Amino acid sequence: MLDCLFELLCPGEILGLASSVSRFGRLVLAALTGITVTVSDTSLSQAQERTRSQNLPGNPSTCEGKMLAVHFDSPGEAENLYIKEVARPEPSKGEVLIKVHASALNRADLLQRRGFYLPPPGASEILGLEAAGVLVSEGADWSVGDRVMALLSGGGNAEYATVPEDQLMAIPNQMTFIQAAAIPEAWLTAYQLLHFVAEVKKGETVLIHAGGSGVGTAAIQLCRLAGAVPVVTAGSADKLKKSMELGAAAGFNYKEEDFSSCTLTFTKVWVPLLPLVLLDKQWLTRDPELDRRYKSKLVKTFAESALPYFSSDSRSPLHPVIDSIYKMDEIVSAHKHMEGNKNLGKIIINLDSED
């Protein structure tokens, strides 16, 4: 949900309402104007040098029980990120271990890096809310070698990640890891808002902000699949054009016109953000088991009702929109690309050393 909202915001403005399905049920209600962000004076070249000093220039970790992961020592700018060798996670009861081939970038990662977005209790502090890869441990309903994508509470920007079994989805045949990594967070966020919150019906019209974002491009397609009519806002002609190609009935450039009066002509359903709250950078206490049950239901429902419509064929009813692909050691550039609101669709982090 962060992608939807922050596409509309420029640097220095209120960061506003932000939420993420992978942080489920907890909103970042952050009016952050006036809050000073700690800015590191570390340059991009210094960040790259820290990565090289680990003797980890994009190659897999060779130490048993270790892995490579995106890391930052203190909150701040993108240059604080580097690649570090850390302990490989061990799956707990009901979890499995994934060898991650690709992950994706979300607005929550930017907020977490800046110190405004803390992982929920018990979650990995490593960035990354979604991943695609291969199982390397057995599960009750999953086998070693299964190709899967996963909704995570954290940990996706690493060579390995643990995830509850019921937050896994099988990757459709012929779909690549790159394509699959673009699905869990953005598409489940859009699906959740449309079907769990707004309960959109056939023929209803839905206003979608940031139509060129990962969540926006997903919401447009899901609206069409449900027989609803998507109307979008975006900040550039290219993003509006792509939104229309995906099925938007109308589009408005919020930088050039007052879209509110125009959209009232079309819109009868407004999809809200979930009522989540973050106070003083501490999560409100919630039952982790309730969170897990909710996400399990969301993943199951999406896998049954939407996932069958995906394929690698561009003519399929649903397909993820990929903006760009970065290698793991290019994570600084990936963050800067998203912070500049330059992406149209998902930004992917490729962790496959063979690609």
Give whole-number Cα distances, 220 to 42, 143, 163, 244, 282, in Å.
Answer: 40, 34, 28, 9, 33
CATH topology for 2-183+319-350?
Quinone Oxidoreductase; Chain A, domain 1 (3.90.180)
Q: Nearest Cα to 219, choosing from 114, 306, 107?
A: 306
Residues 6+ apart with CB under 8 A from 93: none
Helix (H) or strand (E) holding 164: strand 160-164
* Model pLDDT, residue 80: 98
DSSP letters of 289-347? HHHHHHHHHHHHHHHHHTGGGB-SSTTSSB-PPEEEEEEGGGHHHHHHHHHTT--SSEE
Q: Nearest Cα to 161, choosing from 249, 216, 253, 89?
A: 89
Mode of pairing for the β-strands spanning 81-87 and 66-72: antiparallel
What's the rounded Cα separation, in Å, for the pair 192 and 352?
Answer: 30
Is the distance from CB of 147 to CB of 76 less than 8 angstroms? no
Give ranges for CATH 3.40.50.720 in the chain: 199-270
Give ranges for CATH 3.90.180.10 in the chain: 2-183+319-350
* Model pLDDT, residue 120: 86
- Taking phi first (over 0 means left), then psi (-120 to 50 degrees means alpha), and beta for anything else, what does residue 347 get? beta
What's the rounded Cα separation, in Å, for the pair 334 and 344?
Answer: 13
Place of tokens 């709250």: 277
Cα 178 to chain centroid distance, Å, stands at 13
Second CATH level (architecture) for the domain 199-270: 3-Layer(aba) Sandwich (3.40)
Residues 6+ apart with CB under 8 A from 228: 194, 200, 201, 202, 203, 204, 205, 206, 269
What's the rounded Cα separation, in Å, for the pair 89 and 100?
Answer: 12
* Model pLDDT, residue 292: 80
| Residue 260 phi, psi dihedral angles, 5° rounding | -60, -45
- Burial label for 216, CB within 10 Å (0-12, 13-18, 19+), is buried
DSSP letters of 230-297? EEEEESSHHHHHHHHHHT-SEEEETTTS-HHHHHHTT-SEE-PPP---EETTEEPP--HHHHHHHHHH
- Taking phi first (over 0 means left), then psi (-120 to 50 degrees means alpha), and beta for anything else, what does residue 260 get? alpha
What's the rounded Cα separation, in Å, for the pair 185 and 41?
Answer: 32
Other Cβ atoms closer than 10 A to 231: 24
Question: What angle in degrees, to the nearest 10, is found between the helix axes of 214-225 and 184-191?
Answer: 50
Kindly report, residue by residue over 37-94, the tens digit of the pLDDT.
223 334 445 555 555 445 444 455 557 899 999 999 999 999 999 999 999 999 999 9
**How confident is the prediction along the chain (355 residues), in pLDDT tens digits per residue?**
333 333 333 222 222 222 333 333 322 222 222 222 223 334 445 555 555 445 444 455 557 899 999 999 999 999 999 999 999 999 999 999 999 999 999 999 999 999 998 888 889 999 999 999 999 999 999 999 999 999 999 999 999 999 999 999 999 988 999 999 999 999 999 999 999 988 999 998 898 999 999 999 999 999 999 999 999 999 999 999 999 999 999 999 988 888 777 666 665 444 443 333 333 444 444 566 777 888 999 999 999 999 999 976 656 789 999 999 999 999 999 999 999 998 999 999 999 865 5
